[in-house]
Amino acid sequence: MSSDRIVITGVAINTPIGDTLDLVGNNLLSGKSAIGYWRNFDTSNIYSKIGGQIPEYDIEGKLHAFSNRIPDIVLSRAEKVFKQTTKGVQLSVLMAMEAWLDAGLFEHIIDPFDCGIICGGHNLSDKYLLDQQKIFSDEPEFIDAFSGLNSLDTDHSSSVAQVLNTKGFAYLVGGTCATGNIAIQTAINAIKVDKKQVVAVVCPMASFHPMMLHSLTILEAICYSQYQDTPTKASRPYDINRSGFLPSEGGAVLIFEQAEHAKNRGAKIYAELLGASVNSDANHLGDPSHEGQVRVIQDVLKKCNISPEQVDYVSAHATSTKLGDIVELKSIKRVFGSHAEKLIINAPKSLLGHTMWASGVVEAAIAIWQMRQGEFHQSHNIETLDPAVELNVCASGNVKKEVNIFLNNSFGMGGINSASLFSRYHG
């Protein structure tokens, strides 16, 4: 077995439609939408009042549910961290603990300097900072005593590292909506170049607040002029009446491991990571670039020595914007040529909404689950297919198909294009 191979041995996810991979996957197959009305802040001053929000979450109960499943010392470290951190960090730590447990890593003695944490995200504490600013304006002495630390995005990666006792590295990368794949690319470098054995890629939930949502409305990026009374119909990639994306809470963790190390310890293996690629349009705006998307997909195929004809499925970025959905399909058609007509393509955001910086890893986790199940969810809310759509976007129902290799696209504001490639694991 090549020492360069990388596999996924642990997965955790938390979205408005479930906090386990099986639950999220099955809810997607049944057509359950994550989109509803925002509940945790006042929407009276903003146009778009809908998005994806996780239900009331018993964080303390979830933490204590790890009792007798993980070493006591790990639980003790988590309890200490939870006394000093924000809800967002706590949710990231819970996902990381779940993924580490899923990978069976608590059962094995591994040099902590051979393991690392990559957190994918930015602006992770925006709402917390705005809330602290309100307190500061009235009574400066009553701000959170840990606000100097809790305001740092790196508190996510450092807190996870503290709980899991990983000492190889712990830092954060970001690239708007392409962040997930950037984090995956960084994990590849850590394993192949720096020779780490295990890397946890942690993508926390975005920190939504009214000002952020209103600014995206001004940019006409999110849906606000339609479907405010029917939230579940608002996210509609490929439909002629799509009018913007739906922001949604959601995060995920993938455990990447050097394949030989995973095999030697008898780990369960979900899939193999073949590679990833990132490029830039040299443009600070949010305009999608056909050239940039084509190049990044071509590059990841070339890196992995995979021909276009070997790819079976594309987990599309497909955010439900007028321009973006079609540009991506044209890019796919350009790269894959006549084989594009044989691909199955679906839009996770039609049900999940857009989990922003976490989307690349959230959607990779879902795609891995679907590949293992042999069934891919419908792209929902396509009532009138856009005539410009010429490929199979799973418009009419779930699709059952054996998939061996899939492409995971993520394109971010600021001209950041990314793609990752995964396959079934064949010893």
Q: Domain ranges for the chain, please list them.
A: 6-271, 274-422
Tell me how far apart the alpha carbons of residues 9 and 20 are, in angstroms, rounded to a whole number. 15
Which tokens go with 24?
């999220």
SS3 396: coil
At the topology level, CATH places domain 6-271 in Peroxisomal Thiolase; Chain A, domain 1 (3.40.47)
DSSP state of 384: S
Render the burial of 320-351: b for 16+ CB within 10 Å, e for the rest: bbeebbbbbbbbbbebbeebbeebbbbbbbbb
Which tokens go with 92?
């990231």
Which tokens go with 149?
């630390």
pLDDT above 90 (res 25):
yes
User: What is the average per-residue pLDDT within 189-211?
Assistant: 97
Taking the mean position of all CA atoms in its chain, how far away is CA 71? Answer: 28
Report pLDDT for 2: 56
Tell me how far apart the alpha carbons of residues 299 and 185 are, in angstroms, rounded to a whole number. 13
Mind listing the pLDDT tens digit for each residue in 5-16?
Answer: 999 999 999 999
Report pLDDT for 427: 86
Contact 253, 361 (CB under 8 A): yes
User: What is the average per-residue pLDDT within 19-35?
Assistant: 99
Contact 244, 320 (CB under 8 A): yes
Mind listing the pLDDT tens digit for each residue in 88-126?
Answer: 999 999 999 999 999 999 999 999 999 999 999 999 999
Average pLDDT of every residue of the chain: 97
CB atoms within 10 A of CB 41: 16
User: What is the average per-residue pLDDT within 383-402?
Assistant: 98
How does residue 322 score in pLDDT terms, banded at 50, 70 and 90? Answer: very high
Report pLDDT for 378: 99
Count CA atoms within 13 Å of residue 163 on its CB side.
33
Give every CB contact of residue 345 below 8 A, 6+ residues apart in sequence. Answer: 313, 314, 316, 318, 329, 332, 379, 391, 392, 393, 394
Reported residue count of the chain is 427
pLDDT above 60 (res 357):
yes
Q: Judging by beta carbons within 10 Å of its beta carbon (0-12, 13-18, 19+), is residue 310 exposed, middle or buried?
A: middle
Report pLDDT for 245: 98
User: What is the average per-residue pLDDT within 54-72?
Assistant: 95
Mind listing the pLDDT tens digit for each residue in 249-283?
Answer: 999 999 999 999 999 999 999 999 999 999 999 99
Mind listing the pLDDT tens digit for each residue in 212-225?
Answer: 999 999 999 999 99
Task: List % helix, strand, coil for the chain (3-state, nearest 5).
Answer: 40, 20, 40
How does residue 399 score in pLDDT terms, banded at 50, 70 and 90? Answer: very high
Mind listing the pLDDT tens digit for each residue in 153-180?
Answer: 999 999 999 999 999 999 999 999 999 9
pLDDT above 80 (res 373):
yes
Which tokens go with 258?
């050097």
The strand pair at 313-315 and 344-346 is best described as parallel
State the helix-helix crossing angle for 359-373 and 179-192, rounded to 10 degrees: 80
Q: Which CATH number fits domain 274-422: 3.40.47.10, 3.30.420.250, 3.40.1390.10, 3.20.20.70?
A: 3.40.47.10
Question: One fold for both 6-271 and 274-422?
Answer: yes
Q: Judging by beta carbons within 10 Å of its beta carbon (0-12, 13-18, 19+), is residue 112 exposed, middle or buried?
A: middle
Report pLDDT for 1: 46
The strand pair at 313-315 and 35-37 is best described as unpaired
The candidate with the shortest Cα–Cα distance to 349, out of 360, 338, 334, 336, is 360
Phi, psi (degrees; rounded to nearest 5) at 56? -50, 130
